[in-house]
Structure 1
Amino acid sequence: MKNIFFVTFILVSFNKGNLNAQSRAVDSLLSVIKTLNAESSSASLDDTIRISTLITLSKEYVTLRDYAKAIKYASIAKIISEKLVAAVAISVSKNWLANSFQSIAYTFENQENYANALSQYKKELKLREETGNNYKTSLCLNKIGELYNYQDNFAASMDYYYRALKLIDEVNYKDEVMTIYNNLGITYDRQKNYSKSFEYYSKVLKLSTEIGDKATMGISYSNIGTVYAEQGKFEESLDYFFKFLNIAEGSKNQRNVAIAYLNISNVYEMQGDFDRSFATQFKALKILEEIGNKGELALINSNIGVSFMSKAKKNPSEKNKNAQEAKKYFTTGLQLYQKIGQVEGISQSYAYLSELEELIGNTKSSLQNYKLYIQFRDSLTKLIDNEKSIRAEMNYEFEQKENITKLEQERKQDDAKQINDKQKSLLNMFIVAFVFMAALAIFIFRSNRHKQKANKIITLQKLEVERQKSLVEEKQSQILSSINYAKRIQESILISEDKIIAHLPNLFITYIPKDIVSGDFYWYSKQGHESFIVVADCTGHGVPGAFLSMVGSTLLNEIITHKKIHDPALIITSLAAGLSGTLINKEKEELNTDGMDISICKIDHITKKLYFAGANQSIYIVDNYQTQEIKPQISSINGILAIDNLEKITPFEITLKPNMMVYMSTDGYVDQIGEETKKKFLTSRYEKLLGQIHTLAVEKQRYMLEETFDEWKGESKQIDDVLIIGFKI
């Protein structure tokens, strides 16, 4: 009999990106660590930059599944944090030590090493409670509750969830409260306490409805539908699953649409309605084929195969026909599992094929498939055992390193005491020697007076040289610190891609900075039924370019959000005035080197119209494999700052069709020099590429653009920042 299960959603944040981008981030962070000498410590608040960089690097290695390096850099951050706490025992230093424990715990959690993860999270919790930060303490309590839930320790899990709820303010932290409510719903559901599970899922639904968070509302509908289905209340279950389906379709989240169809098909099958079950499963299959995720495709093909096999068992007159259909879908699922190398899926596929061949009386083929099932099952067991062995070895190495660190600290304390005792003895000897030397100095003072004057001048000259050297080193350190702080500030200003996708689901962002900080930036805001997307390229370089991008973001917030200026032509005029006012104290020739190329798009979600105004930056509209370049209204070397010399500008206007793609981009992509050709990529090649990829799913478009860029660039140096935003309604 088929094991029917439903997809239950948890509320988490996902870090989107690709391995190339993550690899570049690791290389950049390693460069920063080398520059800052980040593995050393000054036992002062200057160490916070080192600790932050090490923790960020550790998390990047977790994403790349290189857990040994993730533990290494998180442990270095912990050691520096402990020295900082010992030297400056204030809340700031304790918070950094708590962040280090959190990073180590996060690595163990991703290895599914829950015992060590819990140990590190509890060390973090102790520090959070000492500093009195209720918000961070609540997040840590919730995380510990999740780990206990993974281990089926439901009593401990709920204890930590309820402790987390007591500390967090529902008014100001609705997202975090909804996460805890959802976790409680899942925990009660796993214990088959459906009334309590329904209670907490309903609280998530109520809060998400109040704040208009449709994505979370959909998740709540789906989870409540699952609770009803598990109780055999099929009509209520279908009602909630269809509500989830409506929200998923409205937001054009195709993956959630497919999940809704899968849950609905499971209810139909539990009711014995195979026809409607198959119909909805095939809808899910079609969507997953368009998305192209091989793992999910393999799973749905296997599920359809199991449904056909169940039908073959219940309907002997059509057994062979249904068995052939089951075999087709089992085979497709097996091939997909083989392509992605998922051993567990391959093993289960052979088990299904063995059962199916036995059903139709093909004993020989059934035995062959059963042997393959055993072979891959044993292979999976060996992989799991090997992973446990590696994990145990890493745990041992981690504990050994901690013990070595403690012994090293004790040895250093003993050495420091011995050095202190020696220094006291030397000081006494020095006092005696000093009295003798003073007497001798008085005796020979007159004869060496001229010589002392000369020595004094030489000494002063040496001191001046040393002072100048120290000033240069200090300035260099300040410059590096300012660059890293600029990067952190710039990252905090850029809106997350997830928040934009909540309003424009069919959107992607390709953002590849050349250096630590970037002169390219993007900006987004939803005002009523209108969305505003801005892509800009500040012509200043390094920190000045990043500074100008931050000024641009601040001015856009003021113009669009606060002053409610919504005409792209007026926005670009107001922005030019604001930038000129900011740069007014610059010399004329210095001002001429600064500027900002920009494109501004306004999308009216009701009329489906797009309005565009730009300075030195075109946008591209692609429909039915035809690419149209929309030129900017301003074309000058100074970009937006040249607007003072022009007449009033008028925005470009077009009605967007359903499959029409719009691309906004800076010039970094087309200006990149190829390793083999030694020539630029050029606009003509860029337009052709957009025409080829515009019908693909947006995630595939992002991948193709980044893959093409990497192949073209090869080992040659990246010459400029790259920023591309593509979207359709």
Structure 2
Amino acid sequence: GRVWATEAIQLQEEARDTSGLLGSYRIGGILAHIQGDQLEGMRLWERGYVLSVAYSSVVEQANFLQNLAIAYRGLDMQPEALASNLEALRLREDNQLGRIGPVLNNLGAYYSNKGDFETALQYHERNLAILKETEDTRRLAMSLANVGNCYFKLGQEETALQHVEEAIELVKATRWLREWSHSLYVYSQIRLAQQRPAEALQQAQASLDIAQQLEYTQGIYLAKEILYEAHKAMGHLQEALQYHEEYVTLKDSLASRETEKLALRQRYEEQARLDSLGNVKERQLQDSRLEASIRQRKQQTLFWGIGLFLSVVAGSIIFNRLRLTRMQRNIIRQQKDEVELAYKELDRKNQEILSSINYAKRIQGAILPKENRLHGLLGDYFIYYQPKDIVAGDFFWLQQQGGKTMIAVADCTGHGVPGAMVSVVCHNCLNRAVREFGLTDPAAILNKTREMVLAELTEAKEDLADGMDIALCVIEGSTLQFAGAYNSVCVLREGKEWPGLVAPESDIRFREHQDTQMLEIKGNRFPLGKFPTQKPFETRTVHLHPGDMLYLFTDGFSDQFGGQKNRKYNSARFRELLFSLHTLPPTLQLNGLKKEFMDWKGDFMQIDDVCVLGFKV
């Protein structure tokens, strides 16, 4: 199977068959894991994930992330497993892909292992609600046992028992032995905590019998721990001692597995380091030395073997060996020179690529509004623009037409060089919608921009699904018109009502904090780009007061992972931050946003471009 998968990958890479290659990476990784080669499986899945991101295959991204999360967890790489599960969940929920149950179960298991049973319970109960609508009794039983275990750890023992007893009844009927053993273990754990050791003993013994039948080491270990505690509580000291000794022996065995897991993780990290671009020269030099060393050992073995059996020709063999060694040294020296030359060529090409990207940054900077123009049209303002890479997919846009000021913040598909290329197309189409077609209504601008963006992208041979999320405001006097694709605008006002509000109530959300009100106008729930249903954008209108503070932003700030538990910053926390900063001068608001973002991100990697624009009416 693996030979077939390897050959398929080679053929599909040559043919540039992206769809087939994604499938081969996934299947090849599964086969490698089944045959015990975890590192090769992870390597194939990581390559598949990178390819799926490059080709915007959201379904495959979620699939590869789930596989990688399981692999990372198997090597005790918990931060990587958590990040992969959270991103897989986000992709499946945002794109309505379904099949979120396994991801929820993995997240519940992660937080249970961390001891955060409240968070674990949230994920397990979501999974349980989904499974109750299916006929998957095996996973339903395991989910009931997991929920029961969380309630037990949180001190709600009766609720825990109800869930575990329901799980036991299910597995008795379906004969899913592993799930039965686990459910009985959780039940015995609860009874032991309730100081009912006889019942705990009975259920733990049943769990042990099933685990031994399955040769399920972890289940045997857990059951014997309960049997030891139950016998000790009942005064059966000889039986308690016996189970304690067996429990300790199993614990040592599991510890040795952890050592093997650590060694495998170190091999993975070392391989990842050698696979990085910055270590190309070191890897090639090491490969050359290793090959020369292998050849040298083979020749030495041959020399001594011939010397033992053919002592008569020993002198001749020694002479030939010395000559061969000199030849090998020349070959190694030549290979070293070739590697150094290749490294220099690679470094030169890297410098050329970096120069091109920096030049692209200057081009992108040239199309963004300049500081004096922003100040002239917006007055007191700030802009927090933090690309993830040298160039960005986020951009901000400013125009004036017929006494109307138009300001927008947009998030194009991707980031880095691909995102920057899409942003130039979208920026140009926005300009054309205003300058060439004379449009000033925000919905009309977005409708015309979408028409032109789709026309530009569909000229390519490949069917591209690129586009952008955007928030667009048109201000004339005290009137604000707004239209958006997914993105919103927030208006903060000190202690005043909102007379003359013209907008559907479902698109408006009010928040209050002390004497401050926040009005959030939501954009339409579809992107500016290719989408199954092409609905027209809608304009919302509100009246502004002097002193109102307006904010437009992309999702890069709220989606950033960080903090003590490596979680998303999230939208609710971001809006609380705006409440706390809005009364400050714009310069101080900018400093506050920068400090909050960097403090939250800490040592974690920035995951997306960030763009936040604020100005005072």
TM range (shorter): 0.3 to 0.5
- Scaled by the length of structure 2, the TM-score of the pair is 0.40
Q: Give the structure with the larger strand fraction.
A: 2
